[in-house]
Structure 1
Amino acid sequence: MDINLSDLVRGNVLKLKPYSSARDEHTDVADIYLDANENPFTWAYNRYPDSYQRTLKDAISQWKKVNADHIFLGNGSDEIIDLMIRAFCEPKINSVVTIHPSYGMYTVSADINDVELRYFPLDADFTFDIDTLIHFLKPEDKILFLCSPNNPSGNCIDTAIILQICKSFRGLVVVDEAYIDFADTESMLSYIDKIPNLIVMQTLSKAIGAAGIRLGMAFMDQFIVGILNKIKPPYNINGATQNIALERISDQTFIDAQIINIKNGRLTLNTCLESLSFVQKVFPSEANFILAKVDDADDLYDYLIQQSIVVRNRNKQYRCEGCLRFTIGTPAEMDSLIKALYAYQKP
């Protein structure tokens, strides 16, 4: 199905003349900068950062094997979610769709922008029928969010299913791959330059271990990058974040070692949970967490709190009744959790 991306953009955004910073007006290197009202006394961060994060994008381009022109960076992935809804969805007219249950910020961002969010309910095993989803989508829907691996369930959506949705849907298909580094399922990144309505989000908050610097990455058609650049704040990625990110992604050996440790921890915890009498079901996970259904989620949650161990109680979330979500921690943390779980088990 052919799609014209400009037809999806809100009319006022398409016509918008973006803010022009001082560095946008003069991009060459100079000896003296007296154009941006900065404090002239030099230290690492007295100057405004590069508004378009060129050096960092070049590094990410080499790391992810994606052209830098297809990269957009946000102050966390949450900013990117918000910007996409603002750019493409008319309040009270358009809608966005997400599988349910899934990551909660899709709902929050839609509500903030007064855009209807429609939930497509997953089956009990957190899967869905593609034909049912395609028939669920309406002309008013501008964005479909697919979290893969999904949060809180941990399972991935098959690549062939996502490709079929992209062909059938006349809106944007946003695949949130925050946890993809822990998965055996392939990333959708290789399809970015082939499918114009596909957007892939990734993050430095999970496998890269840099949640504190708040850096989200989105890979998309160059036209969409241009639209988001029009409406983003001028300096949305601060200089410290850019520098730390450059340092962090330069050590792939260290990153790979951490991913292996977390995947090993996931396997160990999975084995433990399946052996416990009070655990009714352990859901297969390709993320850095495991969702498990237990006899009494609230009681087990309170017990773990008493042991100074905090997990996520998902008991009141749709399809997650009776479930707790366990993030994979360090080997020492997992040892403490496993000991606490065995101690909780009734004789």
Structure 2
Amino acid sequence: MTQDISNNESSSSSNLANQNSPFRGLGGLLRENIRNLTPYSSARDEFQGEASVYLDANENAFGSPLTEQYHRYPDPMQYAVKKRLMEIKGVPTRNIFLGNGSDEAIDILFRSFCNPGVDNVIIVPPTYGMYQVSANINDVEARKVNLTPDYQLNMEGIAQAIDEHTKMIFICSPNNPTGNSINRTDVETLLANFNGLVIVDEAYINFSRQKTFIQELTEYANLVVLQTLSKAWGLAGLRLGMAFASEEVIEVMNRVKPPYNVNEATQQLVLEALQNVDQVNSWIKQTLAERDKLVLWLKQFDFVLDIYPSDANFILVKTTDAKAIYNHLVGQGIIVRDRSKVELCEGCLRITVGTPEENITLINTLKTINLG
């Protein structure tokens, strides 16, 4: 049943019409050149199983100068990592894409589904900056529909922005830099009525009270969920991002990606890390407890005007003079993020929750500030 995302009779709502049919494959979403693409076939793609002698990929047969042997190309499809993620996430391996951070997944979505100079996507500022950067790199218009003052989706504005060339809508939830989760019903309304892809970026989902959209993959063929091991899992230096989507979308992403986009060291170390779920859960609980303490401490300062509710491992703090506070902290070797020039974040600093010792250092340093 076609839904009206604006809850009124606006003609713009017809842009979200589902045309009384389920999502019909990739249809006109996929770029013609990608549909006809013959992907690069790597040496490791051309046989299954294990071999005793590898003379196919022009590698150095004598090994590497490291204690670990990295002279062989990595598994191009990262099957061992995907199998472990399947056990943790409850998602079949065929519905998982792994990339060099979530940024690679975002870029591949643009290159697969958006014709440069023709198509457009919708982003909802304030939000993660790489959506705009990837759009610019790929010569794709990014139509901005600002969040409401309470940092939720402007559904009427999104409906008005959509046209026949709108291929994707990017939603970060919990949102960066505001920290709040996006209303789930609004996202589901978009998924049910928009004929393009809805990308839900869940980089901070481990810290959230909201449940992941991964469990909705079987309900919405146009859903793409992005997650990362850079945040709660503490593996930012390894650069492993995840995309969860329909088998069709994952197949396209695998065809477009470089043949060996996730290196062997990352795959091995990630597999080791993924055996430690309990440790990560413990860190998440500690982070949330520290977040609550940090909020209470920050409220004591006269220059703090507001602290927005957060479902992430950071908080957005509205201040009387973000630039001066930022500069003072930098002068003491403490780095936070000045977001005061971002839409709807005027006067705001984004502060990551640190260790107990780091948080105390932050508070003690703020006590020394004099804004005159």
1:94 is aligned to 2:115: no
Pair 56,272 (structure 1): closer, same or farther in 2 beyond 3 Å: same
Equivalent AA in structure 2 for residue 24 of structure 1: D
- Following the alignment from structure 2 to structure 1, what is the Cα–Cα distance between the partners of residues 89 and 370? 44
Task: Report the counterpart of residue 364 of structure 2 in structure 1.
Answer: 339
Cα deviation for residue 202 of structure 1 reads 0.3
- Following the alignment from structure 1 to structure 2, what is the Cα–Cα distance between the partners of residues 23 and 276? 59
- Alignment gaps of 5+ in structure 2: 1-17
Task: Report the counterpart of residue 215 of structure 1 in structure 2.
Answer: 240
1:21 is aligned to 2:70: no
Number of corresponding residues: 347
List aligned pairs for 1:24-63, cutoff 5 A: 24-42=45-63, 43-63=68-88
- Following the alignment from structure 2 to structure 1, what is the Cα–Cα distance between the partners of residues 176 and 367? 26
CA contact (8 A) 1:159 1:186 kept: no
Select 2:307's aligned residue among 271, 274, 282: 282
Determine helix, strand or coil for the equivalent of 1:244.
helix
- Following the alignment from structure 1 to structure 2, what is the Cα–Cα distance between the partners of residues 112 and 306? 34
- Alignment gaps of 5+ in structure 1: none
Determine helix, strand or coil for the equivalent of 1:100.
coil
Task: Report the counterpart of residue 143 of structure 1 in structure 2.
Answer: 168
- Following the alignment from structure 2 to structure 1, what is the Cα–Cα distance between the partners of residues 218 and 265? 30
Residues 91-130 of structure 1 deviation map (CA, whole Å, 9 limit, x = unaligned) = 0110011111100000111111111111111122212333
Cα deviation for residue 345 of structure 1 reads 6.5
Pair 112,129 (structure 1): closer, same or farther in 2 beyond 3 Å: closer
Select 2:221's aligned residue among 172, 175, 196: 196
- Following the alignment from structure 1 to structure 2, what is the Cα–Cα distance between the partners of residues 330 and 322? 25
Cα deviation for residue 13 of structure 1 reads 0.2
1:130 is aligned to 2:155: yes
- Following the alignment from structure 2 to structure 1, what is the Cα–Cα distance between the partners of residues 186 and 215? 15
Cα deviation for residue 158 of structure 1 reads 2.0
Equivalent AA in structure 1 for residue 49 of structure 2: D
- Following the alignment from structure 1 to structure 2, what is the Cα–Cα distance between the partners of residues 330 and 293? 22
* Stretch deviating more after TM superposition (2-11 or 323-332): 2-11
1:264 is aligned to 2:285: no
1:6 is aligned to 2:31: no
List aligned pairs for 1:249-328, cutoff 5 A: 249-328=274-353
TM-score by length of 1: 0.97
Select 1:70's aligned residue among 77, 92, 95: 95
- Following the alignment from structure 2 to structure 1, what is the Cα–Cα distance between the partners of residues 357 and 38? 53
Task: Report the counterpart of residue 10 of structure 2 in structure 1.
Answer: none
CA contact (8 A) 2:230 2:237 kept: yes
Select 2:106's aligned residue among 81, 93, 96: 81
Cα deviation for residue 59 of structure 1 reads 0.3
Residues 226-260 of structure 1 deviation map (CA, whole Å, 9 limit, x = unaligned) = 10111100000000000111111110111011111
Residues 17-61 of structure 1 deviation map (CA, whole Å, 9 limit, x = unaligned) = 100011111223211110000111245211000000001000001
Equivalent AA in structure 2 for residue 129 of structure 1: N
- Following the alignment from structure 2 to structure 1, what is the Cα–Cα distance between the partners of residues 98 and 27? 21
CA contact (8 A) 1:122 1:128 kept: yes
* Stretch deviating more after TM superposition (22-31 or 188-197): 22-31
CA RMSD in angstroms comes to 1.3
TM-score by length of 2: 0.91
List aligned pairs for 1:110-259, cutoff 5 A: 110-259=135-284
CA contact (8 A) 1:276 1:345 kept: no
- Following the alignment from structure 2 to structure 1, what is the Cα–Cα distance between the partners of residues 318 and 347? 5
Determine helix, strand or coil for the equivalent of 2:243.
strand
